[in-house]
């Protein structure tokens, strides 16, 4: 008699929860804390997904009128996403301290909750300028181990770690479907949310970024404020030459969406510095380092123009950095132009 197999497309063995559990079982000495933290992050993402998809109906679009630490207006969904991540993570007992792009200082774990050994950093809702036009947005997270000795609450020092010390990073993209993509530095895995089941299932196994792509992604409206090397690169990339086709241009304006495409299709995403803002706009700890860890694990590259993003030693929590990230050959082309005298 044939052995029984579940009917339908859902494969319980390919769920995100099971994937993380298998990974934990494969790492000797793992205590289950990491798996627990991941489950809390996935729970937060499901709650944010649900609110993002109901946003128009629920009337939560619009601005609260407050100004966040970046001097930008905070959309209501940003705040909701921030609070959801904080509540889910602190109640799991796996983190000792957190930091969010939306909050000026580190976020301590409340005294009534147990503290764990992990440090969680996140951009709760990246690309929030896209909310009101119903375009893709996302959540970015990264996990470090505490580096200060002892147990109990963590400190700012635990948050100021270079990306090469990351234990894991990932993102959720709230697009035509919601996806969850993560790495622990060894393979990049993508899961698609099945709302009828309420779970993420493996849809993109072992993502590898092509060595070279055919798309460049940058806000070219800033062209006149760039250094000459950057402008020369932007002129070159769209010019057909012998042996080189002109690259196509795509820019959604939400890093999660632009980098999700770059990870799957290849190409390069740049957010350079400008004359008045030499550090650019993106934040090292919440945006650049987590994506650099993902893209390098997929075989790509990420630089700030002079060094690997993962080697940058953060000095302050909300540090900004120029970013050149994507297919290794495409990143190397931009760096070549930038380093020309």
- List contacts with Mg ion (CB under 5 A): 123, 126
Window of 104-112, 124-132, 188-196, 324-332 that interacts with ligand AHM by CB under 6 A: 124-132
199 lines the binding site for ligand AHM (CB under 6 A): no
> Quick check: 61 and 131 in contact, CB under 8 A?
yes
Cβ 219 to ligand AHM shortest distance, Å: 3
Enumerate residues 6+ apart whose C-beta is below 8 A from 29.
none
Hey, how many other C-beta atoms are within 10 angstroms of the C-beta on 29? 4
Secondary structure E strands in 103-259:
107-108, 118-126, 137-145, 168-174, 178-183, 188-194, 199-204, 215-217, 248-249
Enumerate residues 6+ apart whose C-beta is below 8 A from 245.
214
CB of 180 or CB of 201, closer to Mg ion: 180
127 lines the binding site for ligand AHM (CB under 6 A): yes
Per CB under 6 A, the list member of 64, 67, 186, 219 interacting with ligand AHM is 219
Site string for ligand AHM, 40-79 (x = CB under 6 A): --------------------------------x-------
255 lines the binding site for ligand AHM (CB under 6 A): yes
Cβ 173 to ligand AHM shortest distance, Å: 11
281 lines the binding site for ligand AHM (CB under 6 A): yes
CB of 159 or CB of 256, closer to ligand AHM: 256
253 lines the binding site for ligand AHM (CB under 6 A): yes
Strands 178-183 and 188-194, sheet pairing: antiparallel
> Quick check: 117 and 146 in contact, CB under 8 A?
yes
126 lines the binding site for ligand AHM (CB under 6 A): yes
CB of 125 or CB of 310, closer to ligand AHM: 125
Q: What is the 3-state secondary structure (H, E, C) of 273-321?
A: CCCCCCCCCCEHHHHHHHHHHHHHHCCCEEECCCCEHHHCCCCCCCCEC
Alpha carbon dihedral 258, 75, 67, 315, in 10-degree steps, equals -40
314 binds, among Mg ion, ligand AHM, none (CB under 5 to 8 A by kind): none
User: Residue 72 gets which letter from DSSP?
Assistant: S
Please choose, from the candidates 82, 51, 79, the residue with its C-alpha nearest in 3D space to the C-alpha of residue 66.
79
CB of 15 or CB of 178, closer to ligand AHM: 178
Which residues in 80-109 contact ligand AHM (CB under 6 A)? Answer: 101
Cβ 220 to ligand AHM shortest distance, Å: 9
| Euclidean distance between CA atoms 147 and 20, whole angstroms | 23
Residues at the site binding ligand AHM, with contacts judged by CB under 6 A: 72, 101, 123, 126-129, 219, 253-255, 271, 281
């Amino acid at each position: 008699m044939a052995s029984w197999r579940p009917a339908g497309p859902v494969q319980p063995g390919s769920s995100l929860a099971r994937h993380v559990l298998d990974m934990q079982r494969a790492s000797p000495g793992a205590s289950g804390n990491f798996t627990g933290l991941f489950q809390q992050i996935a729970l937060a993402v499901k709650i944010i997904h649900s609110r993002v998809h109901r946003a128009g109906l629920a009337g939560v679009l619009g601005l609260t009128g407050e100004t966040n630490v970046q001097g930008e207006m905070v959309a209501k969904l940003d705040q909701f996403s921030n609070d959801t991540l904080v509540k889910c993570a602190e109640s799991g007992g796996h983190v000792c301290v957190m930091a969010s792009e939306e909050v000026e200082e580190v976020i301590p774990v409340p005294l009534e909750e147990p503290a764990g050994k992990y440090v969680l950093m996140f951009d709760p809702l990246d690309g929030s300028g896209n909310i009101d036009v119903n375009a893709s947005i996302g959540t970015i997270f990264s996990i470090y181990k505490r580096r200060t000795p002892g147990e109990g609450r963590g400190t700012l020092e635990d948050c100021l770690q270079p990306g090469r010390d990351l234990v894991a990073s990932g993102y959720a993209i709230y697009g035509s479907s919601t996806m969850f993509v993560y790495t622990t530095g060894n393979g990049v895995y993508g899961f698609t949310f099945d709302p009828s089941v309420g779970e993420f299932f493996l849809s993109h196994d072992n993502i590898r970024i092509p060595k070279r792509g055919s798309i460049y992604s940058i806000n070219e409206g800033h062209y006149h404020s760039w250094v000459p090397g950057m402008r020369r690169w932007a002129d070159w990339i769209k010019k057909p030459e012998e042996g080189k086709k002109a690259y196509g241009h795509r820019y959604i304006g939400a890093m999660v969406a632009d980098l999700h495409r770059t990870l799957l299709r290849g190409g390069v995403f740049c957010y350079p510095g400008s004359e008045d803002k030499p550090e650019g706009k993106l934040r090292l700890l919440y945006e650049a380092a987590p994506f650099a860890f993902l893209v390098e694990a997929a075989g790509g590259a990420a630089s700030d123009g002079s060094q690997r993003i993962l080697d940058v030693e953060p000095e302050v929590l909300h540090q900004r950095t120029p970013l050149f990230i994507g297919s290794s050959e495409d990143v190397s082309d931009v760096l070549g132009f930038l380093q020309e005298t």
